[in-house]
């Protein structure tokens, strides 16, 4: 399928062509028609599936075809998202896709002065992209009104829940007209998000792509058993090689991220850290440098990395394994996008063996161990479904081991594209997971 087959208007098709986009992703193929039709939509999709275009393209078209705002300068669409980085990226996408329309937008978020944001709103915007805290702050000051909202988009709802924003989200929703189109996107569907979706969506079309457990299938993965004290030495060893051109590196803590970036810089590896304690301007600068290939490594915590979308990112490195297996899949999903090749390298010390077991259970994969590296620790790997024993044997790190570049044949399995959407339901399931399916009954809420 091509974008032209989705009944998108010429101004948007021209912008897409200039961006180099020719074929829609599964979620775009399935979500754009019902959104253009004015339906509510519940999308189960994570970052990297193309969901930003899935909601922004039909939103731009509906606003363009509706003509000028009534009353003038009224905000007609609100996109609520959990982090500053994701809000900025959504704003960039809307600017690119809507360059040949007259649709105006702005982005508001905390951590920076509000005056320029307020001035933009006063000049008039059709689409407002916002994070919950700054939006509520501006609302409480009487600096903006949501009473003319026609479309409300809640992005990354599960992350809103994780970050404690659901109460703020409900406050915002209370100020939006009940007669509106609502789109809700979430990578996972915990009970609280299902409850929220049932309360704000009216007979939604349900779209699901790439269930979280199957996302990892298209990405080559390696695990490095290494003592905790040697993790940073192993990272420097890998990044000094030519195999890795650019890597997104994950640390469990903010302090750890800063320390890793500092040590990499000391040995001549260009690196910056990004986390919640950094000033917004510093975070934007670091992300821009990384996107422009000015940094070899961007070291991030999970919350700061949410929404980071970098083209041609070949490597993700987990210096610390996350204690939630879903987080691992979200992390590595930032590489190997749009059919490109990707590699995920993970360091695992003895205390993280249970985390590795949980990851392998979720993904239904056994991650290959890279032994040819100078800091290999000979741990006994926990079997999938095994007990809690962490018996292991340790070996002394040896500098005369193999090159340890973590090389392996890369894989690039394609997603199952599912069937074409109709105006009732659409679903694309990945393999090897318990797929959530929607019934053909539009009256049923999920």
Give yes or no for a contact between 183 and 40, defined as CB atoms under 8 angstroms apart: yes
pLDDT of residue 407: 33
pLDDT band at 265 (very low <50, low <70, confident <90, very high): very high
The mean per-residue pLDDT over the stretch 274-286 comes to 83
Render pLDDT for 361-406 as a digit per residue (tens, 0 to 9): 888 889 999 999 999 998 854 443 333 333 333 333 433 333 333 3
Strand locations in 307-381, DSSP E? 315-318, 343-348
Q: Write down the CATH number for the domain with range 3-210.
A: 3.40.50.300
Residue-wise DSSP of 218-229:
GSEEEEEEB-GG
Q: Does domain 217-363 have CATH number 3.30.70.240?
A: no
pLDDT band at 338 (very low <50, low <70, confident <90, very high): low
41-44: strand order across its sheet: 105-108, 127-130, 77-80, 151-154, 181-186, 41-44, 205-208
In the predicted structure, residue 322 carries a pLDDT above the cut 70: yes
Helices (H), 306-425: 325-332, 353-363
In the predicted structure, residue 350 carries a pLDDT above the cut 50: yes
The mean per-residue pLDDT over the stretch 181-193 comes to 90
- Of 139 and 331, the structure prediction assigns the larger pLDDT to 139
Per-residue buried b or exposed e for 336-362, using 16+ beta carbons within 10 Å of the residue's own CB: bbeeeebbbbbbbbbebbebbbbbbeb
pLDDT of residue 215: 63
> Per DSSP, what are the bridge partners of residue 348?
225
**Portions of the chain given CATH number 3.40.50.300:** 3-210, 217-363
Nearest to 156 by CA among 309, 293, 15, 21: 309
The mean per-residue pLDDT over the stretch 36-61 comes to 91
The mean per-residue pLDDT over the stretch 344-355 comes to 94
pLDDT of residue 392: 39
What would the two tokens of residue 263 be? 């040590």
Distance, CA of 366 to CA of 315 (rounded, Å): 19
Least confident of 105-109, 123-127, 292-296, 337-341: 337-341
pLDDT of residue 446: 31
Render pLDDT for 64-116 as a digit per residue (tens, 0 to 9): 999 988 888 999 999 999 988 889 889 999 999 999 999 999 999 998 899 99
Burial class, 385, CB count within 10 angstroms (exposed 0-12 / middle 13-18 / buried 19+): exposed
In the predicted structure, residue 420 carries a pLDDT above the cut 50: no
Distance, CA of 49 to CA of 430 (rounded, Å): 12
Q: Whole-number mean pLDDT of the chain?
A: 82
Please name the residue that has the structure tokens 């731009």.
60
Give yes or no for a contact between 364 and 434, defined as CB atoms under 8 angstroms apart: no
The mean per-residue pLDDT over the stretch 317-324 comes to 92
Nearest to 30 by CA among 15, 16, 18, 45: 45
Give yes or no for a contact between 200 and 178, defined as CB atoms under 8 angstroms apart: no
């Amino acid at each position: 399928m091509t974008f032209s087959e989705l009944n998108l208007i010429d101004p948007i098709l021209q912008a897409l062509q200039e961006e180099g986009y020719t074929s829609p992703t599964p979620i775009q193929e399935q979500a754009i028609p019902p959104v253009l039709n004015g339906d509510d939509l519940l999308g189960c999709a994570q970052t990297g599936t193309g969901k930003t275009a899935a909601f922004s393209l039909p939103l731009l078209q509906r606003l363009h075809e509706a003509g000028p705002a009534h009353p003038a300068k009224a905000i007609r669409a609100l996109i609520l998202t959990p982090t500053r980085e994701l809000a900025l990226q959504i704003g960039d996408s809307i600017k690119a896709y809507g360059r040949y329309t007259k649709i105006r937008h702005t982005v508001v978020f905390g951590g920076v002065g509000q005056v320029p944001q307020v001035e933009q709103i006063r000049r008039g915007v059709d689409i407002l992209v916002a994070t919950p805290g700054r939006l509520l702050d501006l609302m409480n000051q009487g600096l903006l009104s949501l009473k003319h909202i026609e479309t409300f988009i809640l992005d990354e709802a599960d992350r809103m829940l994780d970050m404690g924003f659901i109460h703020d989200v409900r406050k915002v929703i209370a100020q939006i007209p009940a007669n509106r189109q609502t789109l809700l996107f979430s990578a996972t569907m915990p009970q609280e998000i299902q409850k929220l979706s049932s309360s704000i969506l009216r007979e939604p079309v349900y779209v699901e792509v790439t269930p979280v457990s199957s996302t990892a299938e298209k990405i080559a993965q390696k695990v490095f058993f290494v003592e905790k004290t040697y993790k940073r030495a192993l990272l420097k060893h890998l990044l000094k090689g030519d195999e890795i051109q650019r890597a997104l590196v994950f640390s469990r803590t903010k302090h750890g991220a800063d320390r890793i970036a500092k040590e990499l810089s000391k040995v001549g590896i260009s690196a910056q850290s990004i986390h919640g304690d950094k000033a917004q301007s510093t975070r934007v600068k670091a992300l821009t440098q990384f996107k422009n290939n000015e940094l070899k490594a961007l070291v991030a915590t999970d919350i700061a990395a949410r929404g980071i979308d970098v083209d041609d990112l070949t490597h993700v490195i987990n210096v610390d394994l996350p204690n939630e297996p879903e987080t691992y899949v979200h992390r590595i999903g930032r590489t190997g996008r749009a059919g490109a090749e990707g590699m995920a390298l993970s360091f695992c010390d003895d205390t993280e063996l249970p985390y590795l077991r949980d990851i392998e259970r979720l993904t239904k994969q056994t991650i290959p161990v890279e032994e040819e590296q100078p800091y290999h620790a000979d741990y006994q790997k926990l079997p999938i479904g095994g007990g809690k024993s962490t018996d292991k044997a340790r070996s002394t790190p040896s500098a005369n081991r193999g090159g340890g570049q973590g090389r392996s044949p890369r894989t690039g399995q394609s997603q199952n594209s599912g069937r074409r959407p109709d105006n009732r339901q659409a679903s694309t399931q990945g393999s090897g997971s318990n797929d959530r399916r929607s019934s053909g009954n539009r009256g049923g809420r999920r």
